[in-house]
Chain A
């Protein structure tokens, strides 16, 4: 791939990235969330088309309009989420849509035999072609995905966080499989957060950051410390509002609070303070916010609000107790997209505290709030779907401001939002804290986390990995999140 660039809706997410993979090589791609790894992979696998730059396979320039063309060109991709039909057998999944036929009928015997061969070739004889995929473990399902790619004669395999779903002992099996593929001359683009496995497997490493390639190094010459530096090394270009002086009293306390996805957590949310929550995706950050908000409640331990024990069992109870939650998935969970700006901004007031009379005064005050957070729309009657991400987020904020919450939980508050609106939202968050609210802010973006937080907790595997002061370094957060890169064999 040469000089590849991509922008979505005018936001550049990848620019001038060069990357190459040789036959039999494992080339690792690392970077923070949002560095452009997924976009790069999607371009390589034909899901997105680059706006600039070119792709070449075995020296031949190619244009991949869709994933099918990428497959035909020999590019296979193993997603984090598998694309398998759980009710079908392994063989049926491998040959889905291109079943071998004999006299017009599916030749099941040939299909099974060919699948068995492929499975044997990667040393996965424990998986049988006749097994139902849904009954297989995650690691075995991954093998099925790999075999599916191989059945298409993939010469380049892209693996997206392949160990994310695996247990420790399964990781070893994956390593062995990757080495076998390597020996067959397949080039592998290996995307991962986890530096340990990158060092174990790869021969070269490319660091992406903010959509640009920072560096490509031979693994033998690299150290984890240097990589982390490359991953985070950036100036704090954006402006963040001044932080709080002394934090106020504890408003929410958790003592050993946990549920199926969270190990027991002890935590305080203090009035006037922005508590940043760092960690990788899937580390339990969102699960914590959702438990506090009663979406998937705590099942163990104690939660108190203002010294009184509470355990919201539904968002409604949380809202009525004075908690607000700005979800990470604005379109999927935050907004009713076909409704107007005004109706969306009034949704929490109407839903959690419905009234028969006095709606007019409430509408007036919500209109004022929409103006105060500077939502730009054609009018309050415009459907919220036509607003930009930043304006949509401001509508969500206005909705919660109308409830005058004392505790606000923000999950990736500025994801997919342009720079100007981002600064405005940061100021609104800080303003809320200054007025005495307790704010919890989850962010994958380290500059935001460090720029906004008065105190930071980092999560890993459903537990708190540690607490840091607001002026901690990006390296400190990242090493807690990934599990101390200093222990990684260099």
Chain B
């Protein structure tokens, strides 16, 4: 802007991270396009706007979880507690609402608050007590599972109100051409926008630096512990939102969040985000989630059993991390 010298720093060149380096989103975009083409061949009406929106609605919880997980992973940590947090939130909401429509909105607020609180505890234990986040959140996972089972006496009680379920199920109806715009998609768009803005802000840049080199971030005057803690809070909040949406289209059960932590981590890694922190974008993480959802849809269309889908997910996470490592080395 102020300098025009061609060799100077203002001469924007293509960095070596550029197109295909570790942390870039190009590979996931290519995979996503290929998968979308494959789904389209298998099911031509997939591209009708209403069908596409319905697909996005199904993908929204995973994309939101992946966005939350991204903040934690890019700072160099893990959040393994989100799956059980989703379960806990749904079960808690069902029991507290117990079919009473009047309780809906207070309980939604409570669910969000509880998610943020769990994230805060994860963050403080990790940064103040210096427990590796892998262990902190694994512990939180077990605590939540145990607490929910104990609290409900072994099987979920109560029921979600129709108002609560509406958030995940319904949308703005009668929109020309698009048909119904699901609330889940709107919520997704708002959160995705916020996530992108956050990563472009000072906070996001410092978060990346913390994941890359915490000592350098600290010596530059950064609040390393604070930034990492906020990342956990974001992840907890995203898990709460995902729980609200999932409670809408799934039933109330202990299975609603099972395994979601690994699905989210797989999605983030698939999106080119490097485990260990410092590289990768939140857009990549969300595209990774969309790609994973597309793949699961395709497997479903091809008649692959659900059990095998889990194995495919395992293969993806191994391949993505291995390839990411190779790309980082070159």
Contact = CB atoms under 8 A, between A and B. Distances in A.
Interface string B1-21: 111010111111111110000
A334 B202 contact: no
Given A336-B213, A368-B3, A376-B7, A399 B220 contact: yes
Contacts of A368: 2-3
B219 A336 contact: no
B208 interface: yes
Nearest to A382: B15
Contacts of A381: 12-15
Given A338-B212, A367-B2, A356 B201 contact: yes
Contacts of B218: 314-316
B283 to A, nearest CB: 16
A335 B216 contact: yes
Contact of A380 (B5, B12, B205, B221): B12
A147 B5 CA distance: 61
B208 A380 contact: no
A108 interface: no
A351 B1 contact: no
Interface centre among A332, A336, A359 (most CB of B within 10 A): A336
Contacts of A340: 15
A379 interface: yes
Interface string A315-327: 1101110000101
Contacts of B213: 332-333, 335-337
Given A316-B223, A343-B205, A350-B206, A377 B9 contact: yes
A352 to B, nearest CB: 3
A318 B220 CA distance: 10
Interface string B71-102: 00000000000000000000000000000000
A224 B217 CA distance: 45
B203 interface: yes
A383 B16 contact: yes
B202 A336 contact: no
Contacts of B5: 371
A293 B7 CA distance: 35
Contacts of A16: none
Nearest to A365: B2
B28 interface: no
Contacts of A319: 220-221
Nearest to A335: B216
B278 interface: yes
A171 B72 CA distance: 50
Interface string A410-448: 000000000000000000000000000000000000000
A63 B202 CA distance: 53
A339 interface: yes
Given A336-B212, A339-B209, A371 B9 contact: yes
B15 A352 contact: no
Interface string A347-359: 1101111111001
B228 interface: no
Contacts of B202: 350-351, 354-356, 359
Interface in A292-319: 293, 295, 314-316, 318-319
B216 A341 contact: no
A347 B217 contact: yes
A378 interface: yes
Interface residues of B, number: 36
A344 B278 CA distance: 12
B247 interface: no
Given A350-B205, A354-B202, A367-B3, A382 B212 contact: no
Contacts of A375: 8-9
A379 B216 contact: no
B7 to A, nearest CB: 6
Contacts of A344: 209
A316 B212 contact: no
B208 A364 contact: no
A300 B223 CA distance: 25
B214 to A, nearest CB: 9
Nearest to A333: B215
Contacts of A293: 219
A386 interface: yes
B222 interface: yes
B58 interface: no
A334 B3 contact: no
B23 interface: yes
Interface in A365-397: 367-368, 370-371, 374-383, 386
Nearest to B278: A338
A371 B216 contact: no
A370 B9 CA distance: 7
A382 B13 contact: yes
A371 B219 contact: no
A339 to B, nearest CB: 6
A330 to B, nearest CB: 9
Nearest to A350: B202
Nearest to A348: B220
Interface string B268-307: 0000000000110000000000000000000000000000
A450 interface: no
A343 B15 CA distance: 13
Contacts of B201: 354, 356, 359
Nearest to B277: A338
B89 to A, nearest CB: 30
Contact of A333 (B219, B221, B278): B219
A466 B112 CA distance: 62
Interface centre among B11, B205, B218, B223 (most CB of A within 10 A): B205
A40 interface: no
A383 to B, nearest CB: 5
A344 B219 CA distance: 12
A364 B1 CA distance: 7
B13 A352 contact: no
Interface string A221-241: 000000000000000000000
Contacts of B209: 336, 339, 343-344, 347, 351
Contacts of B222: 316, 347, 351-352
A265 interface: no
Nearest to B201: A356
A433 to B, nearest CB: 22
Contacts of A346: 205
Given A356-B202, A399-B220, 20 more contacts: A315-B218, A315-B221, A316-B221, A332-B213, A333-B215, A337-B213, A338-B17, A343-B208, A347-B206, A351-B209, A354-B201, A354-B206, A359-B201, A364-B2, A371-B5, A371-B10, A379-B9, A379-B12, A379-B13, A382-B13
- Rank and list the top 5 A-B pairs by shortest CB-CB distance, nearest first: A352-B221, A351-B222, A379-B13, A319-B221, A378-B13
24 contacts: A314-B218, A315-B220, A319-B220, A319-B221, A332-B213, A335-B216, A336-B216, A338-B17, A339-B278, A343-B208, A347-B209, A351-B209, A354-B203, A364-B2, A368-B2, A370-B10, A371-B3, A371-B10, A375-B9, A376-B7, A378-B16, A379-B14, A381-B12, A381-B14
Interface of A: 293, 295, 314-316, 318-320, 325, 327, 332-344, 346-348, 350-356, 359, 364, 367-368, 370-371, 374-383, 386, 399
Interface of B: 1-3, 5, 7-17, 23, 201-203, 205-206, 208-209, 212-213, 215-223, 278-279
